[in-house]
Amino acid sequence: MSPTLPEEATSTSSDEPVRTDMIVIGAGPTGLFTVFEAGLLGLRCHLVDNLDKPGGQCAELYPDKPIYDIPALPRCTGQELTDNLLEQARPFAPEFHLNQQAERLTRLDDGHWQLVTSIGTVLEAPVIVVAAGAGSFVPRRLPLPEAEGFEGTSLHYAVRKMEHFRDRRLLVAGGGDSALDWLLNLQPIARSAALVHRRDEFRAAPDSVEKMRALVAAGQVGLHFGQIAKLHGSDGRLEAVTLGKTGGGEETVECDTVLAFFGLKMELGPLASWGLNLERNLIKVDTEAFETSQPGIFAIGDICTYPGKLKLILSGFHEAALMCQKAHKYCRPEQKLVFRYTTSSTELHKRLGVAD
Ligand code: FAD
């Protein structure tokens, strides 16, 4: 189900700042189409997204549902649209910084912007494009007061590197696709693996549920029905958890790692403190260039607001095209922008890699 993202197009944190033309916050449909429009003008993009895959709401909330109002595409699913946008952006070699939130934004002495993500990736560019939809998709956390003390060491809400879980005594919490997929993927390398879910009904794909039940029957995976009620351990090192059992009573399960998948929620997050002109958690922009109150910072797609705004994918596409015209002035102040059609411009054919 995940889109075909080339391995070399994804990167993680490094000490050297990444320098590019445009830093795009959000790899939803609007962010992905920005890569294409920017690419036609000769501009490179790096994209940052909280999620582990591109596609935003389309890939996360409705990958299999058909969309009927994309111009000239009478019907395509959320995932098909994402895959097509990735294919269309491919000639312009976008780089993705996934599984990380855009956190700190500062203006440098040369007027460029520096963005630091939640895992320490540093990116610098003359232009920031906020294509953040309704905000970051963030995991719902374990609602226990002691949980924070274990987060990042023994309690995780996502898997960044499978190796991190080798030889762990793992308890996976949840009943959806993420919980079951990671249980099945990590069980072979974990020292022990167990699943806890509120009831004996799973939202995950039937095939995954069947595989999980086979492992339980073979004694290779533990299965518990209940909710995590208490975490035991010290200095961030987990030793056991107490489960409140669904039928009543409590049970202690020994484990050193909990992977909790309770779904995602959306929140504006750090963007709210960047000094942008906000109106009801949306960023106000002009309709000529979709620039915010900060020069060089643009906002497009669902996150922006202006009189008459429609939260539709096609609006994001239109906003991306116009925004790139102004962004070009920041990235290439010495160049005059010439309007060209993709059908007839040899220059654009070269950029698209379709020239004879
Ligand atoms: P999003 O798709 O929301 O993507 C934004 C991305 O930014 C997310 O991946 C998020 O994780 C990331 N992000 C946000 N903040 C940060 C941060 N600080 N750091 C890192 N990453 C961040 N529209 C239509 O046109 N037609 C339809 O038929 C249609 N059907 C829909 C059905 C459903 C069920 C839903 C929920 C929506 C539907 N929509 C439809 C709306 C459409 O999905 C949105 O308009 C579109 O996804 C907006 O695209 P976007 O790129 O602006 O934002």
Roughly what angle, to the nearest 10 degrees, separates helices 29-40 and 313-331?
A: 40
Residues 149 and 247 occupy one common structural domain: yes
**Distance (Å, rounded) from C-alpha 300 to C-alpha 321?**
10
pLDDT the model gives residue 24: 98
Looking at the fold, whether 120 and 30 belong to one and the same domain comes out as yes
Sign of the CA dihedral 14, 17, 20, 22? positive
Q: Which atom of ligand 1 is nearest to the CA of 312?
A: 25
Instruction: Identify whether residues 124 and 273 lie together within a single domain.
Output: yes
Per-residue pLDDT tens digits for 304-353: 999 999 999 999 999 999 999 999 999 999 999 999 999 999 999 999 99
192: in domain: yes
Indicate if the pLDDT at residue 1 is higher than 50: no
Residues 258, 231 contacting (CB under 8 angstroms): yes
- Which residues face 279 on adjacent strands? 282
Distance CA 54, CA 58 (A): 9
Contact 9/94 with Cβ under 8 angstroms? yes
d(CA 354, CA 91): 9
Please give the distance of CA 264 from its chain centroid, rounded to a whole number.
11
Q: Whose C-alpha lies nearest to ligand 1, atom 46? A: 313
Would 8 be classed as within a structural domain? no
Q: Are residues 237 and 326 located together in one domain of the fold?
A: no
Last residue of a domain, one of 235, 262, 289: 262
Is 7 a domain residue? no
pLDDT per position as a tens digit, 261-318: 998 888 888 999 999 999 988 999 999 999 999 999 999 999 999 999 999 999 999 9
**Pairing of the two strands 76-77 and 66-67:** antiparallel
- Domain identity same for 248 and 287: no
Residue 1 Cα to ligand 1 middle (Å): 18
Examine the fold and report which residue of 262, 286, 318 is the final residue of a domain before the chain moves on: 262
Q: Is the pLDDT of residue 11 over 80?
A: no
pLDDT at 7: 45
Let me know whether 96 and 74 are in one domain: yes
Give the structural domain span for 168: 142-262
Considering the domain boundaries, does residue 162 fall inside one?
Answer: yes
Candidate from 23, 60, 313, 317 with most ligand 1 atoms within 8 A of CB, to mutate: 313
Q: Do 292 and 327 fall within a single domain? A: yes
Residues 168 and 255 in one domain: yes
Taking 3-state DSSP, the helix, strand and coil percentages for the chain, each rounded to the nearest 5, stand at 30, 30, 45
Task: Cite the beta strand spans of 292-339 per DSSP E.
Answer: 297-299, 304-305
User: How far is Cα 324 from Cα 300, in angstroms, rounded to an integer?
Assistant: 11
Phi-psi region of 302 (alpha: psi -120 to 50; beta: other; left: phi over 0): alpha
Question: What is the tens place of the pLDDT at every residue in 192-230?
Answer: 999 999 999 999 999 999 999 999 999 999 999 999 999
Q: Distances from the Cα of 54 to the Cαs of 5, 249, 284, in angstroms?
A: 8, 42, 25
Q: Is residue 328 part of a domain?
A: yes
In a domain, 346, yes or no: yes
C-alpha 48/C-alpha 304 separation (Å) is: 18
Give the C-alpha separation, 318 to 29, whole Å: 12
Ligand 1 atom closest to 103 (CA): 18
pTM: 0.80
Contacts of 102 (CB under 8 A, 6+ apart): 25, 48, 115, 117, 132, 270, 271
Identify whether residues 271 and 227 lie together within a single domain.
no
What whole-number distance in Å separates Cα of residue 350 and Cα of residue 208?
45
Q: How many domains does the chain have?
A: 2
d(CA 157, CA 233): 18
- Same domain for 202 and 130: no
Domain membership of residue 12 (yes or no) is: no
Q: Is there a single domain that holds both residue 125 and residue 162?
A: no
Instruction: For 199, list phi and psi in degrees, rounded to 5.
Output: -145, 170
> How far is the C-alpha of 60 from the C-alpha of 5, rounded, in Å?
15
- Of 262, 277, 308, which residue constitutes the final position of a domain? 262
Asked if 344 and 329 touch (Cβ cutoff 8 Å), the reply is no
Q: What is the dihedral of CA 258, 262, 268, 273, to 10 degrees?
A: -20
Query: CB within 6 Å of ligand 1 — which residues?
Result: 25-31, 48-51, 56-58, 61-62, 67, 69, 101-102, 131-137, 269-271, 301-302, 311-314, 316
The verdict on 172 and 258 lying in the same domain is yes
In a domain, 292, yes or no: yes
* CATH classification at residue 229: 3.50.50.60
Residue 114: pLDDT above 70? yes
